[in-house]
Amino acid sequence: MYEMEGTVKLIEDTQTFGSGFQKREFVITSDEKFPQDVKFECTKEKIELVEKVRTGDRVKVSFNIRGNEYKGRFYVNLQAWRIEHGEGEVDSNLAKVTEESSSGGGNLDDLEESPF
């Protein structure tokens, strides 16, 4: 089992192949001295894991390394099987409220009257 923490940089659309096989790829930027953009894939029922994250989210990805050979070429895939939201992640709606209140754009009374 391998794990990597980072920030979601890109989420691709689900790909469906002629055989019915589906996969969805996403990229995270690692939390290292020299950050790396690393592509992961989710297949079959694990695709729904990607539905719960958004670009910019801090995550920890648990994954397996899968290698194969096709027509004399060798490939390596990082198959994600768990995606956890990182500590300190801020909900995007909460971030907007915090930003407005710190810039003087609103106060708690305004929030109480809000229909949201």
The most distant pair of C-alpha atoms in the chain lies apart, rounded to whole Å, by: 67
Asked if residue 116 has pLDDT above 50, the reply is no
pLDDT tens readout for residues 40-77: 999 999 999 999 999 999 999 999 999 999 999 999 99
The better pLDDT of the pair 56, 1 is held by 56
**3-class secondary structure for 60-98?**
EEEEEEEEEEECCEEEEEEEEEEEEECCCCCCHHHHHHH
| Chain segment 19-46, per-residue pLDDT in tens | 999 999 999 999 889 999 999 999 999 9
* pLDDT tens readout for residues 91-113: 433 333 334 433 444 444 444 44
User: Domains of the chain by range and CATH?
Assistant: 2-110 (2.40.50.140)
